[in-house]
Structure 1
Amino acid sequence: MSNEFVARSLDEVRFWSRIMKEHSLFLKLGFRCEDTQLIQEANQFYTTFEAIENKANAFTIGTDPQTIKKFNEEVHIAVSYIWMFKRKVLGLILTCQLPGANNFPLLVDHVSREANYFRNRLTELNTGRLEPLPDAIIDENVFFLRIMADHAKFISHLLDPSERKLVDQANNFSQEFDQLLFQARDLDSMRPQSQTSPLLDQFLDQNRVSVTSLRDFKKTARELIEACRIKSIIHPLLADHVFREAERFLAIIDMFENSLTGKPAAPLQSLMLD
């Protein structure tokens, strides 16, 4: 128990509780008007995670670690419930019980994976069993590379088909991140022999270049959507949502790079412990 535990816990909860809150909104927007029970559940989750986000923002680096540990346990329960809700929705979609709804099955699976990631992170923090650096580098990149590949696919399918150039760009990013994910899984299957500093350093450098390009593409798309300069059915908040997740991935890559090279680790961008 230390200030580091408090800082890392608040960073994770502040970032991911906002993501969970927004997932609730996006799922609700994809339901049919007659899906009143699902809409109500999504609204309840939105309220729950908004309250968690506000509570996390009220804590500081000086908050008692035991208070944060208890808070993490409460958040873990909420995240487990939204994970179950997402998997239930996925089951309904895949068994054709929501015909005409607008939530892609891959999108629902995607948001459930993020909930599971958040849940696991809370468990690791509270038990003090964080992965060794070489394992964390591979596992985090496998997770986030798949997230980035999914984002590119969602953008491609939510842009109007007449936006041919942007659709092509999104499809190219999808292919690029699929390849990076395959490479990451190859590195994963070769461990522990693959976990040398030179290989991991090159792995991070290569991913950083691609994630930076995708982040910049998302930033441009967000600005165009907000200015109503392109045709799509992408909610402006969704455009900002996927941009923030790319920023998060880049911050994690930089943190790993600093740890590998012995440089002081910079805080994640979402960390605000005033």
Structure 2
Amino acid sequence: MANPIVARSLDEIQFWSRIMKEHALFLSLGFTYEQKQLIDEARQFITVFERIEEKLSRFNVNSDLNQVKAFNTEVYQAAAAIWSYKRKVLDLTLRCVIRTNNFPLLVDHISREAAYFANRLKELNKGVLVPKPDEVIQENVFFLRIMADHAKFIGHLLDPSERKLVEQAREFSHDFDQLLFQAIDLDSMRPQSETKPLLSQFLDQNKVSVASLRDFKKTARELIEACRIKSNIHPLLADHTFREAERFLEIIDLFEYSLNTSQS
């Protein structure tokens, strides 16, 4: 029988390594021509995560747990390295040492995702498959903020003449900001005894909103790929944000399954 830690580790690496590789690409495209060193560093990370993806193909759900844990540690080091690079870029940007086409919030956003990925690998190597019930809200806080950021980026990268889509993006940004604030409130007022009914309602509400945003991103991706809307959004970025919304929905399902299993 496959070890669940092995299966989850490989799944996390498969998803997030591609995300990290794409982050490096997006950063490289946003630098100006004279920022060659930063572009070269970004391209090096593309190579690093391509090698990780190649090595991942040698594993399967029946692979040895210790070998997978060693791989997790190797990938953790790559995730920590790209996090450090992203924070360096953010620091240079905020101090106006460099000026790029990458929003500071976007650089902060992708560094948070690198930190999340690295932390997941550490948790899996400790045998933690899913967060405890009292940590589920914090996990949702992370993803709700990611979704809110996506809506803001889409709104700013659409051509101003795309008024209807810009307004839709702003509405999603507002909705997810409210969900984020609600999650933060819930985390601070959460009773210490029984949290499952609150969590179930919370997850159900998030699922509906994320599914709606996912569908909006899917439509935007298709329109961008067909050159039917005006924007500065790279087709791969449109697909990238769509996949992250899909991932959040999968994680909500995982949380719900874990809660239901622990109740039975």
* Same-fold status (TM-score > 0.5): yes
* TM-score in terms of structure 1 length: 0.92
Match of 2:198 in 1: 199
Q: 1:253 to 1:52 in 2, by over 3 A?
A: same
| Deviation of the 1:102 alpha carbon | 0.1
- The alignment status of 1:80 with 2:85, answered yes or no, reads no
Deviation per residue, 1:47-98 (Å, 9 max, x gap): 0011112211331111111111111111111111100000000001100111
- Please state whether the residue corresponding to 1:228 is helix, strand or coil: coil
The aligned amino acid for 1:187 is L
2:109 aligns to what? 110
Query: Cα deviations across residues 164-203 of structure 1 (Å, max 9, x unaligned)?
Result: 0000000000000000000000111123438522111110
Residue 244 of structure 2: aligned partner: 245
Say if 1:67 and 1:58 are closer, same or farther in 2 by CA, change over 3 A.
same
CA distance in 1, matches of 2:55, 2:125: 18
Q: Percent identity?
A: 71
Change (3 A) 1:93 1:68: same
- Partners of 1:132 and 1:213 lie apart in 2 by 25
Which residue of 2 is the match for residue 49 of structure 1?
49
How many residues in Structure 1 have an aligned counterpart in Structure 2? 261
Structure 1 position 140, deviation (Å): 1.4
Decide which moves more: 226-235 or 192-201: 192-201
The aligned counterpart of 1:6 is: 6
- Alignment deviations for residues 201-238 of structure 1 (CA, whole Å, 9 cap, x no partner): 11001000100000000000000000000000000000
Work out the CA distance in 2 between the residues paired with 1:220 and 1:194: 43
1:164 and 2:137 correspond: no
RMSD over aligned CA atoms reads: 1.4
The runs of 4+ residues in structure 1 deviating greater than 4 Å are 129-132
Q: 1:194 to 1:220 in 2, by over 3 A?
A: farther
Q: For residue 266 of structure 1, what is the aligned residue in structure 2?
A: none
Give 1:89's aligned residue. 89
Contact 2:83/2:111, CA 8 A, preserved across alignment: yes
2:68 matched residue in structure 1: 68
- Deviation string, structure 1 residues 101-149 (Cα, Å, up to 9, x no partner): 1000000000000000001011111122456531232121111000000
Partner Cα distance (1:90, 1:193) in 2? 38
- The two structures have a TM-score, normalised by structure 2, of 0.95
1:257: how far off? 1.5
In 2: Cα distance, 1:231 partner to 1:172 partner = 19
Q: Equivalent residue for 1:119?
A: 118
Q: State the partner residue of 2:38.
A: 38
Determine helix, strand or coil for the equivalent of 2:57: helix
